[in-house]
Amino acid sequence: MSESPALPLTGAPDHPEGAAPHPRILAIPAFQDNYIWMLVDQAGRRAAVVDPGDAAPVIDALQAHHLDLAAVLVTHHHADHVGGLAALRARYPAMTVHGPHNPAIAGIDRRWRAGDSLALDGFGVHFDVFEVPGHTLDHIAWYAPRLTGDDTRPVLFCGDTLFAGGCGRLFEGTPVQMHASLSRLAALPGDTLVYCAHEYTASNLRFARKVEPNSAALARREAEVAALRAAHRPTVPSSIAVERATNPFLRVNHPDVQHAAQAYSDRPLEDAASILGAVRHWKDSAR
């Protein structure tokens, strides 16, 4: 950040190119570092929220913006993503909860599989459902190829699968599964906004630098992220293009990442999934 120009008087540093937040998607911070994303409908009267781990901040945000809760999208079964469902149901009984085919999650009205497409009435959007096992086995991602309105950029709600600069821990799935899931997401259009569920970016990038210490793209991004955090702003959304350029878990086919992973493992690694597994293991032990 050394030679960057003075910040504007509003104090808001720019997001990485192509990743300015979507005007109809608002961040609701929860717990220590979760984001519950709130998509506002075209009329500005109703909202859909993603992964409400806690109900109270969601209710506060809905009231502050005079919005009714129409729908909830769930990505996976962890408590910090579904813990608010019951209290939201009590408060907004007409809401529809959409989630994965996991009977262990209580309170889901409609369960979705890969290849399904959910149209949200009045929101000017439909979501394609991807099954992205790895972090958990039930994990799904919600991808909107286009939003109606002034800002039509594609949007991805990916929970704890793809993070800005990283990926979720492999609690249930294998490196092979996570590699397939991340490859699916990495193939989306570069301008897709990546709305992940945690503010982990700064620590993710610190690790990424160990994997690719000579990456200029990574150095630039670290500076941008540091400026956003200094201004107490979310570093999310990211974009698929930014992730492809800087996220080591999307770069397992790059020679620099392969060499680093093999040096860490101290043995040759045969395929991309093994590289990913090694980098994931490295990050788990680096914390």
Verify whether residue 198 is a known catalytic residue: yes
Longest dimension (CA), the chain: 58
Stretch that binds Zn ion, among 86-94, 126-134, 157-165, 277-285 (CB under 5 A): 157-165
The token pair that represents 79 in the structure block: 């408590």
Q: Is the dihedral of CA 169, 175, 178, 179 positive or negative?
A: positive
Helix axes 272-286, 255-265, angle to 10 degrees: 60
User: Do the bridges between strand 96-100 and strand 110-112 make them parallel or antiparallel, or are there none, so unpaired?
Assistant: parallel
Query: Whole-number minimum distance, CB 194 to Fe ion, in Å?
Result: 15
**Residue 184 burial (CB count, 10 A):** 17
Unique residue bearing structure tokens 């009435």:
121
Q: Does 160 bind Zn ion (CB under 5 A)?
A: yes
Residue 199 touches which member of Fe ion, Zn ion, none, C-beta under 5-8 Å by kind: none
* 80 part of the active site: yes
Catalytic-residue membership of 121:
no
Scanning residues 124 to 163, which ones bind Fe ion (CB under 5 A)? 160
d(CA 50, CA 32): 17
Q: Which of 41, 80, 212, 224 binds Fe ion (CB under 5 A)?
A: 80
Question: Catalytic annotation on 101?
Answer: no
Contact 86, 93 (CB under 8 A): no
Q: Is 199 in the site for Fe ion (CB under 5 A)?
A: no
Distance in Å, CB of 76 to Fe ion, minimum: 8
Minimum distance of Fe ion from residue 37's CB (angstroms): 13
Pull the structure tokens for residue 263: 């040096």
Minimum Å distance from CB 102 to Zn ion?
Answer: 13
User: With contacts defined by CB under 5 A, how many residues of the chain interact with Zn ion?
Assistant: 2
Q: Catalytic amino acids?
A: 76, 78, 80-81, 135, 160, 198
Residues in touch with Zn ion (CB under 5 A):
78, 160
